[in-house]
Amino acid sequence: MKLFNHTRKKSWSSKLKRDMELLLIMLMNLKEIIGRTRFQKIVFLLEQKFGVAFSYNFTPYYYGPYSSDLQHEINLLSLMGFVDISHSHGVPYTHRLTERGILAAKSIEEQYRKDHEVLHLISSIGYFKGKPTYILINEAKKLMKYPEILTK
């Protein structure tokens, strides 16, 4: 299943497409991600600790590395009908694939079933299951050289 039916310059559109495909595969294998902070840290750690080739630029933030590009793509996947983001007062944002997202992720995973990057992503997912978000924040802060003001 193709995410995009139109063409753009390859220099950034191929990275955008690949990142979004990896996000869909990641979310399908995790089932759900509760919290924007957790989502950001999982992607950062997949890139920095496990070597998954996302192309996001992360900057130091109070709750660990943050990428506005990543947040934009999460929102875009939601607008495109691939990801459901639910939120209620006092409860963190919950991210799950929609039926359309599940079909797309399965199709992408099948298309890339022998792709080393996708296999590596899938094999790395287990690391995050059951691990508290604060642990992920601490790990991410250690991997990113943090200004002292943001570590207190």
Residue 51 covered by a domain = yes
We report the CATH number of the domain holding residue 74 as: 1.10.10
Mean of the pLDDT values across residues 45-61? Answer: 92
How confident is the model at residue 10, as a pLDDT? Answer: 44
Domain presence at residue 42? yes
What is the pTM (predicted TM-score) of this model? 0.84
Q: What pLDDT shows up at residue 91?
A: 76
Residue 129, in any domain of the structure: yes
Domain that holds residue 88: 11-150
Q: Tell whether the model's pLDDT for residue 7 goes beyond 70.
A: no
Q: What is the largest CA-CA distance in the chain?
A: 47
- The verdict on residue 77 lying in a domain is yes
pLDDT score for 134:
95
Total domain count for the chain?
Answer: 1
CA separation for the pair 132, 18 (Å, rounded): 28
Task: Encode pLDDT of 64-122 as tens digits.
Answer: 999 999 999 999 999 999 999 998 887 789 999 999 999 999 999 999 888 888 889 99
Residue 4 lies in a domain: no
Q: Nearest-CA neighbor of 108 among 93, 95, 119? A: 119
CB 19 within 8 Å of CB 57: no
Confidence at 11, pLDDT banded by 50, 70, 90:
very low
pLDDT for 63 beyond 50: yes
pLDDT in tens, 24-48: 999 999 999 999 999 999 999 999 9
